[in-house]
Homo-oligomer: A and B are copies of this chain.
Amino acid sequence: MSPHAISAQELAQRLGGTLLDCPPDRQLTEVLPLEEARATSVSFLANQKYLAKAKESAAGLLLVTAKDPMEGHARIALPNPYLGFAQAVGILHPEPTPEWDGSPVHGSARVDASARIAPGATIGARSVIGARTIIHPGANIGEDCVIGEDCVIFSGAALYRRTTLGNRVRIHANTVLGSDGFGYATAGGIHHKIPQVGWVEVGDDAEIGACVTIDRGALGPTRIGKGTKVDNLCQIAHGVRTGDHCLIVSQTGISGSTTLGDHVTLAGKVGVVGHIHIGSNTTVGGNSVVAKTLPDGSFVTGYPARPHKQWMETQAALNRLPGLMKKLNTQK
């Protein structure tokens, strides 16, 4: 994927760390999470919670601190492995220079003869547009995108490079797929950007409303399942993966790396924290905040979200609270 490569020795030097238990000329070609890393991958340990995973990782090189008990593992010891990770991503996955040729539809794009591209729309290098797909005026498709058949992309929608859409997908106006996730390694009060080098995948028959933002994954995909419908002004952060046939109502936000099962309904203005799972067939009431993993078939409401019945009882009790307090004060 990345045409870049660097030796372990050189990477240690550029990150200002110490190379340990590793042949200096080992070639590294990409950064990947601990579970997905292979012999050519750099990965990192920034939280003791993942120590066991780090020990089992197939990564060719790990970024760790000098105190992490990782003897025998090829590693670079450095003060801030998370900052090192941000820098390593920038070294191995630099942002490609755009390849514009002056034409709205790049000469290397492959547009099916039955697709229709409006005036004012742009298509980037090497992108593929499927049969009968309609691209409205002012939509901007980046480089290396793959758009399936019978899709409709409305005006001003922006697909960053490497976005892929299945068949029969509708993307409404001014929606953004593939913007950078909100990822920074903070050191000394400065927020150092973690380059976001993943992509966005949208399954068949999905529909995405207007002014929705779906960030690209940090290293891998952000994924919208088949038949899932996302309403206007929702935010789907980097690395989120929804199941199939979910309904995500307007102004909802889902934080990074959270996963949804199938047939999940998030009502309007819901917030979901990062790194949790919402089980299949779950319904979350409007304006709720989900802060913990939920089992399949849950029905929750409130902030933090709790079983809907319990939330109803709490609200009823709350309404009677001022009266209760008055009575207790009178009794004394």
Contacts and interface: CB of A to CB of B under 8 A. Distances in A.
Interface stretch (A12-20, A68-76, A86-94, A312-320): A312-320
Contact of A158 (B140, B160, B174, B289): B174
Contacts of A227: 190-191
Contact of A286 (B154, B176, B289, B324): B289
Counting chain A residues whose Cβ lies within 8 A of the other chain, the interface size class is 35 or more
Interface in A95-116: 98, 100, 102-104, 116
A213 B233 CA distance: 8
A173 B158 contact: yes
Interface string A291-332: 000000000000110100010011111111110110010000
A182 B98 contact: no
Contact of A233 (B233, B287, B316): B233
A133 B239 CA distance: 28
A56 to B, nearest CB: 32
A287 B314 contact: no
Contact of A182 (B174, B232, B317): B232
Contacts of A158: 138, 154-156, 173-174, 210
Most B-side CB within 10 Å, residue of A98, A191, A229: A191
Which label, helix, strand, loop or mixed, suits the secondary structure of the A interface?
loop
Interface in A191-215: 191, 193, 207, 209-213, 215
Most B-side CB within 10 Å, residue of A120, A138, A306, A316: A138
Report the copy number of this chain in the oligomer: 3
A308 B78 CA distance: 34
A122 B193 CA distance: 28
Nearest to A142: B155
Interface string A109-142: 0000000101110101000000000101110101
Interface stretch (A2-10, A30-38, A249-257): A249-257
A277 interface: no
Contacts of A180: 170, 172, 207, 209
Interface string A242-275: 0001010111010100000011000011010100
A179 interface: yes
A231 interface: yes
Interface of A: 98, 100, 102-104, 116, 118-120, 122, 124, 134, 136-138, 140, 142, 154-156, 158, 160, 170, 172-176, 179-180, 182, 184, 189-191, 193, 207, 209-213, 215, 227, 229, 231-233, 235, 237, 245, 247, 249-251, 253, 255, 262-263, 268-269, 271, 273, 286-287, 289, 303-304, 306, 310, 313-322, 324-325, 328
30 contacts: A98-B118, A98-B134, A100-B137, A120-B122, A122-B137, A122-B138, A136-B140, A154-B160, A154-B179, A156-B156, A156-B174, A172-B179, A172-B180, A173-B176, A176-B210, A176-B211, A179-B232, A182-B209, A182-B229, A210-B215, A211-B211, A231-B235, A233-B233, A235-B251, A250-B253, A255-B268, A268-B271, A287-B289, A310-B322, A324-B328
